[in-house]
Amino acid sequence: MAPQAWIVGEKGEDLQGPKEFVPLSKLEDIGVLYWQLDPKKSESEEELAKIRKERGYSYMDLIEICPDKLENYEEKVKNFFTEHMHADEEIRYCLEGSGYFDVRDKDDKWIRIWIKGGDMIILPAGIYHRFTLDNANYVKLMRLFIGEPVWTALNRPQEGHPARQEYVKNVMGSTGFALAAH
Ligand SMILES: CSCCC(=O)C(=O)O
Ligand SMILES: [Fe+2]
């Protein structure tokens, strides 16, 4: 099952009227990849091992986002919810709890992706995004990376950044992201 995704406002608020749901295909169009795994199997999961091997995700750690478990909680959650991009992919696997990844669509609207246990999401380098907890106020995420991790958040605007330029070219270009990425 694809995660639920819908359009929200600038501050993350629900828009008036019924939710405008976004299909997985539209997430693929903007380079967002998604897998559903079995969260009970955790690190030993075969499918996870396969994805890690195929995509070269040598680095792995776990992060729990909640006031008692994350140092400098207030500052970190504020930064997570500030619109930013990275020079590399952002790979997150939700083991427990839930949260919202907001990503910009081609029209610069916010798509809110609701991540729960078993959901693995990859945001491409250069995509503008942000993260926030939902009402459950807790998430345990696995962070994956190719080689030594770089978590540097580059706040918008970053139009001159090579990763941003590459992303814009892939997503807005005629071939589309899916063709360019595979
Ligand atoms: C801690 S996962 C989500 C926050 C984020 O976008 C990031 O870490 O760069
Ligand atoms: Fe990020």
pLDDT in tens, the chain (182 residues): 889 999 999 999 999 999 999 999 999 999 999 999 987 776 668 899 999 999 999 999 999 999 999 999 999 999 999 999 999 999 999 999 999 999 999 999 999 999 999 999 999 999 999 999 999 999 999 999 999 999 999 999 999 999 999 999 999 885 556 555 54
**Binding residue per annotation — 84?**
yes
Exposure string of 7-40, with b = 16+ CB inside 10 Å and e = fewer, is bbeeeeeeeeeeeeebeeeebebbbbbbeebebe
pTM summary value: 0.94
Nearest of 119, 120, 123, 93 to residue 111 by alpha carbon:
123
Q: CB within 6 Å of ligand 1 — which residues?
A: 63, 80, 90, 92, 129, 131, 141, 151, 153
